[in-house]
Amino acid sequence: MNLDNLHIEPDNSYHQPSTDPTSGIKAIVVVMTVLFMVFTSVLAIFFYDKKQKEGDVINASNAGNTNQGLVVATPTPTPIPAMSDMQNPLLYPATASCVATIGVIDDSLSPSSRGITQSVFGTEAIGTLSSFSRANPIQFYDPLYYAAVPGIFTFRGNNFRNCATFGYVSGVQGAPTLTQAWEFSGIGTRLASTMNFEWSGVAWTGQPLVIEWSAAERATMNLYPEKASKEGLTEVIVAALDGKIYFFDIDDGSFTRDPIDVGCSIKGTPALDPRGYPLIYVGQCDDNASDDNFGLYIYSLIDGQELYHCSGLDSRAYRANWGAFDSSPIIDAATDTLIWPGENGIIYTFTLNTQYVAGTGTISVNPEMVGYVYIYNDSQGAYMGIESSISVYGGYGYFVDNAHNLNCIDLNTMQMVWTFKLGDDSDLTPAIEEENGVPYLYVGTEVDEQGEVVGEYNGAAYIYKINGLTGEIVWQTSVPCYTYNGESSDSDQTGGCLGNPVIGKRRLSNLVFFSFSMTNGLTSGNRIVAFNKETGIEEWSYNMNIYSYSSPIDCYDEEGNGYIIIADSIGQIHIIDGATGTGSAIQISRLTGTSQETTSGIIFDASPVIFGNTLIIGSKSGSVFAVTIG
């Protein structure tokens, strides 16, 4: 096929980073400030030299009991709190204040300028939106404080969505290598609601969860006896498209308890309660439940029983006919609040009213819901769904909807603060980093809706750094990617940014990493690109031979050297030096040690986690794999 005629010309101004339009003014201000400081210093030296020549020298007789002149006391720095064994060392020390307030919103980013219609409703009567104020205000802090026990509790780990890794990779001499450790190959299939295909294995985003249970929790849960008595048991939890939630011992992949049969396909990433409570929050991706339910669920991990279900088929939604929850929820422990966007376009918040005392063997919830629904004049209700997860800074939530909008909502007043129109569709979850008291968001787009072409074409995957207080662009750039626009959405094959960005830490703290899918052609090529956080300039790129929808993940040795790991769609897992961009890959095998051992059919769309030296990832082939980093 001659692709030249199918090339959709993107806005090429963004193939090189664009910066804040006020950067020129800022540069002038900086230059003038420097000149003023130099001029002031010259004057100071001149007058000081003159006073010395006149004998007017400050000494002990006119400056107290010192011959060094006036002495200014050095303030004692506030000591950094010691890290708890329960906290993630990669996030230590906590540096984000999460107390900044929203700045001046430009008219172009104001929700009212786009004719927003918004309302709030709830289990109890709410009144008008303008009068709503949350009784117990939501306030998230630095991600170090998100969880009270060791583990990975939601998609990308915490409220900043910036860390799916817990702990350092230890005992590594030089560059780490990857070795396949264990496999569970028993995930089944489930017929889709359309009745024309079967869901199988684990798909996008499909990230595992990890928790190290306390002795009190182990003693009261339905763990197998040998697991309940295992000191330091670390449990891996994977929700799958066959409708089950599986539980594994991270050490060897053995079952820790019986699976929970939710009875509907699960594609997104569930969430564990960050307080260490035995609760799991899970949403279904398709209307294929055996009991006709379609929505979100809360299960007890004491006995595996369903505690609560909320239907996503909500008449108050602008997309009322689709009740899926691919988003991974977030929990504010202090206020006992669950925050969960739905594919119907509603942002649900629940005061859980959790009743639990560790060691008692009972837990209950009695959720009270407050929901928020919105639409812009230039958006269609059918596109108001939310597949990405919400990121939270302080009391502000950031999320992307299917109508290309990156939004900021005040979770305490339930009103939209600002909105920014992305260059294309995006299902990414904004990743947050605070710099000098300001939260910045990193997000990217797919190549999905850049032309009326039916078939294969080339377009631009845009990435952005956004000021979270104002919605203004700090920098923006793009990478060419291919896509396939089918006659129907079922046959679409989308390129661009499908995996979430990685915010560098430790010796990679000046970089942010994005994955670009289908850079060589349809299903061909993937690029991991390291961008300078400050400028958006590309520092290096790593080219892969096949596409990837899986999110890259970062890990670090105890010296702070960082590595990026990404899985692809033919069963390879790549490890890349985060400083140089050099890397290698291993090929994963399934059904190892049997006569049916093979490397074929392994597709990694799901995202991995790393706990210590172990990476865990699910596949569409029906297997969950563990890989040792060493």
- Kindly tell me if the per-residue pLDDT of 2 is higher than 50: no
- Kindly tell me if the per-residue pLDDT of 41 is higher than 70: no
Q: Mention every residue, 6+ apart, whose C-beta is less than 8 A from residue 319.
A: 343, 344, 345, 381, 382, 383, 384, 385
Q: Round to whole Å and give the CA distance between 76 and 201.
A: 56
Residue appearing with tokens 């669950």: 338
Grouping H, G, I as helix, E, B as strand and the rest as coil, residue 24 is helix
**Closest Cα to residue 283, out of 261, 307, 309?**
309
**Which range (49-53, 292-296, 517-521, 618-622) has the least confidence?**
49-53
pLDDT in tens, 259-308: 999 999 999 999 999 999 999 999 999 999 989 999 999 999 999 999 99
- Residue 475 DSSP symbol: E
Average pLDDT over residues 543-564: 98
CA 356 remoteness from chain centre: 29
Q: How far is CA 37 from CA 41, 43, 335, in A?
A: 6, 10, 49
Average pLDDT over residues 132-147: 97
> pLDDT band at residue 54, thresholds of 50, 70 and 90?
very low
Percentage, residues of the chain above pLDDT 90? 82
Q: Are 500 and 519 in contact (CB under 8 A)?
A: no
Q: Round to whole Å and give the CA distance between 145 and 132.
A: 28
- Kindly tell me if the per-residue pLDDT of 555 is higher than 90: yes
> pLDDT band at residue 363, thresholds of 50, 70 and 90?
very high
Average pLDDT over residues 227-252: 99
Average pLDDT over residues 494-504: 98
Domains of the chain, start order: 107-629 (2.130.10.10)
- Kindly tell me if the per-residue pLDDT of 419 is higher than 80: yes
**How many beta carbons lie within 10 A of that of residue 362, not counting itself?**
11
Stretch (H or E) spanning 37: helix 23-53
- Kindly tell me if the per-residue pLDDT of 216 is higher than 80: yes
Q: Are 328 and 207 in contact (CB under 8 A)?
A: yes
> pLDDT band at residue 173, thresholds of 50, 70 and 90?
confident
> pLDDT band at residue 39, thresholds of 50, 70 and 90?
low
**Which range (40-44, 221-225, 283-287, 539-543) has the least confidence?**
40-44
> pLDDT band at residue 30, thresholds of 50, 70 and 90?
very low
Percentage, residues of the chain above pLDDT 70? 88
Predicted TM-score (pTM) of this structure: 0.90
- What's the token pair of residue 493? 């094959």
Q: How far is CA 279 from CA 352, 369, 621, in A?
A: 11, 18, 28
Q: In the beta sheet, which residues pair with residue 521?
A: 524
Q: Round to whole Å and give the CA distance between 320 and 578.
A: 44
> pLDDT band at residue 7, thresholds of 50, 70 and 90?
very low
CA angle 324, 330, 335 (to 5 degrees): 125
Mean pLDDT taken over the chain: 91
Average pLDDT over residues 501-522: 98
Q: Cis peptide before 93, with omega less than 30 degrees from 0?
A: yes
Up-side HSE of residue 115: CA atoms within 13 Å toward CB?
Answer: 5
Q: In the beta sheet, which residues pair with residue 165?
A: 610
> pLDDT band at residue 128, thresholds of 50, 70 and 90?
confident
CA angle 613, 614, 618 (to 5 degrees): 160
**Closest Cα to residue 262, out of 298, 237, 235?**
298
| N-terminal to C-terminal alpha carbon distance within the chain | 44
- Strands across the sheet with 271-272, in order? 271-272, 279-283, 295-300, 306-311
Q: Are 496 and 444 in contact (CB under 8 A)?
A: yes
Q: Round to whole Å and give the CA distance between 401 and 385.
A: 6
Average pLDDT over residues 584-607: 97
Q: Round to whole Å and give the CA distance between 326 and 199.
A: 15
Q: Are 286 and 295 in contact (CB under 8 A)?
A: no
Average pLDDT over residues 244-248: 99
Q: Round to whole Å and give the CA distance between 99 and 438.
A: 9
Pairing of strands 295-300, 279-283: antiparallel
> pLDDT band at residue 6, thresholds of 50, 70 and 90?
very low
Average pLDDT over residues 216-245: 98
Q: What pLDDT sits at residue 40?
A: 53
Q: How far is CA 226 from CA 149, 195, 498, in A?
A: 22, 41, 40
Q: Round to whole Å and give the CA distance between 544 and 519.
A: 9
Q: Round to whole Å and give the CA distance between 71 and 463.
A: 50
**Closest Cα to residue 371, out of 414, 403, 327?**
414
Q: Mention every residue, 6+ apart, whose C-beta is less than 8 A from residue 361.
A: 220, 302
- Kindly tell me if the per-residue pLDDT of 407 is higher than 80: yes
- Kindly tell me if the per-residue pLDDT of 438 is higher than 90: yes
Q: In the beta sheet, which residues pair with residue 370?
A: 122, 349
> pLDDT band at residue 127, thresholds of 50, 70 and 90?
confident
- What's the token pair of residue 33? 């400030």
Q: What pLDDT sits at residue 492?
A: 85
Q: What pLDDT sits at residue 53?
A: 42
579 or 59: which leads in pLDDT: 579
Residue appearing with tokens 């991600």: 143
Q: Round to whole Å and give the CA distance between 553 and 188.
A: 27
Instruction: Identify the burial level of 309 via C-beta atoms within 10 angstroms of its C-beta, where 0-12 means exposed, 13-18 middle and 19 or more buried.
Output: middle
Q: What is the DSSP string of 207-219?
A: --EEEE--HHHHH
Q: Cis peptide before 95, with omega less than 30 degrees from 0?
A: no
